[in-house]
Structure 1
Amino acid sequence: MAFRDVLNIEVAAGNGGDGSMSFHRAKYLEKGGPDGGHGGRGGNVILRAIEGVESLERLVGKRKFKAENGRYGEGRLRQGADGLDIYIDVPVGTTAFDEESGKVIADLVQVGQEKIIAKGGLGGRGNSTFTSSTRQAPRFAELGTPGQKRRVRLELRLIADVGLVGYPNAGKSSLLAALSRANPAIADYPFTTLSPILGVVQREDERGNSLDERFTMADIPGIIEGASEGKGLGLEFLRHISRTRLLIYVLDVTRNPVEELQQLQGELRAYDPTLLDNVALVALNKVELVEADLAQMVEDELAEQGLPVVQVSAKEGTGLATLRETLFQMLPEFELWAQSNALEVEPDTVVEEALNIVFREDPPAKGETQPERVWEVHGGGFEERIMRFSRYLEDAAEYLGNLFKRQGLYNALRRAGAREGDTVEIGTFRFEYFDDEE
């Protein structure tokens, strides 16, 4: 299966079912009471992290996901069924972004972790809800709300404890193969690795016996100069480094290791400056190709850059036991690392838009001489509430008027300067303002 770490999808949660406007009917009961049931909730679209998947490729071919709508309420107080949720299974390490806002809406770093990325609409209440001492037979019900729709960008950032970073042909694949159980393609030319490869490194005692400690290591494709600007394979794979707890800069001793280290750090800094805060060390590779004195001189120069240095030969196995043990000792605790590297995820609850009242004067109505005074109401959730009764606005007008009064709209209009007889406009709904301070 081809490796894919970025995918754009469209998701739509289910609409809430409408509440029922119904009255009880019986053979010997001419005028029964209201018995309209509530509508069901719309299904959510849920992102779920699962094991055994290392690419978003399995989702290719299906870019649109739609949850079920809630069912309508019915008479005899029968509630409509909730719409079924739909689950989108993705690899652990998947981050979801809202394409419109760019905000993170989900960041799944553990198996089984779930996050709603499109919330189902609310079911409408049936007319049985709206009875009162003065309203015995409400001839209106509440409509369900639409489910959330959004375009989502999925990015996979591999979950690995240790990441190998280096220029092409530095020996990263050979080092991964020598330290772990992975079997990456290895050859003597650049860009052998075209997708990240994971391996498991086991801790060993002095005799070479395996201990019950291990970590995962990722071979990130070779970085080239300008990778942070999208050159080469840069942006396609630099994102995977952000998930690692420890970085290994793999440097070829036969090249210019000090200069290459500075260039690599420059690329990481340009992509994400926080990457340089990760715990890191240098693996000075291919030491079998130079004299021991030269290798030691290069190690001393690299040490001046402030990072630990371990001389290794992935080809001959030199220094691998030292490197393995050093990594186990340097790995930060997962809990502390996870807390410091957690992404800020958009909260599930949406803060209601602030109330904004705008005054305007319209031309006089026919037969009138004075301009019409109109107060536009924006925000505060009032337009959404009106939409939930759009099918029964005339019958629900009294209920809505009392509701808006309780929620402070009339007080807000009074403070803004509204007068008796002015027109209030909420979306397409217009009504006359009356000054009632009781």
Structure 2
Amino acid sequence: MSSTTAKGQPSVPHAGLSLIELVLLIAALMALNALSIDIMLPALPQIGDELGVVHENNRQLILSSYLLGLGAASLIFGPVSDWLGRRPTLLAGILLFIVGAVLSLFAQSFETMLTARALQGIGAAAPRVVTISMVRDWYSGRQMGRIMSLAMMVFMAAPILAPTVGQGILFLGHWHWIFIFLTAFSFALMLWCFARLPESLPMEKRLGLNPRTVARSYWLVLTNRFALGYMLAVSCAFGALFGFINSAQQIFNGVFGLGASFTLVFALIAAGQSVAAFLNSQLVERFGLRKLSHGALLMLIGVSAVGATLALTGSMTLWTYYAFQALVMFFFGFIAPNFNSMAMEPLGAFAGAGSAMVGFVTTTLGAVLGAGIGALYNGTTIPLTLGYLLLGTTALIIVLITEKGRLFHPMHEDAS
């Protein structure tokens, strides 16, 4: 594990790698998923038309298939990286992502496109799981928090810029060019990791790949009330997020007629989540995980009720929708990271299995819920706003059951 420098700053894994380069590399690996999802939004109509998609809502499966592959493979790459090491698992995953991107580039049918996108998601699960494991191998405590906070600040630019990048590519060429861009980006990232990123898990610390041991670890995760409760609650939050992403292009263009400029509004909305993530990093030590996240969940439900009322009464305009969605994303920025941390909090003895299971449950269940919301799109914002309200309320019920009716304070702490 890395030590600190004389000035108390985190050291780096080896002398040839600067702290700035390490943070940028971690952020780029983390950003691969956000980029691969959000960059597709402007291209969905073109891809659907060319590949013969009859029902407009089915275009959203290009996003959902990626998410399902990402979630399912999370269970695999955690134990594999404990067995073979972080670096080979990471490089193999990126290579699989590249294969999926190339297959997407040459897809002649919608079914082939969905298969290729799922393969991309499977490959992208390796960077998602392994990156966090590598940081955990090298750092702990406040050092780990500092490295992850710095990486998150860079990473948050991806969901803001990705749709605009996708739209810019479409201005210059065909939708195939987006997959050329993803192939080039991931290939450059693989070369960067191969040349500069060292192995973080020594041979003597690697574990054998025993299916029975792995299954037992996963069972222990699923039978822990706090881990399971907050996994399910954050899955509801992800379901709302993925529902928005799935139907964003249709809502901005079909309901509000923004055309290509919708990517700019999307970026402004996503910026609210970035602001919340920054504020959360500054406030969480002072107020605690539960006060911030439980309060944000209650606010999200209140905002969702207002949004649903506006949608049902036909009073939703572009500007009220923008304000509504920006507030939802702002509160999501407090809910998701803190709920995820609370799901991992009791899993210190088997953090690797815990991280893999949390990733699997939250992404897979979130993708299914988000696909359900997107499939209900009917030319209005009613399905999305009601989906937010339903999923927010469900998350609150799950949290109340998990905490035995007590919000804002963990059960093992006395009120103070």
Q: Same fold (TM over 0.5)?
A: no
- The structure with the largest strand share of the pair is 1
TM-score of the pair, normalised by structure 2 = 0.23
| Higher RCO by CA contacts (8 Å cutoff, separation 6 or greater) | 2
- The structure with the largest helix share of the pair is 2
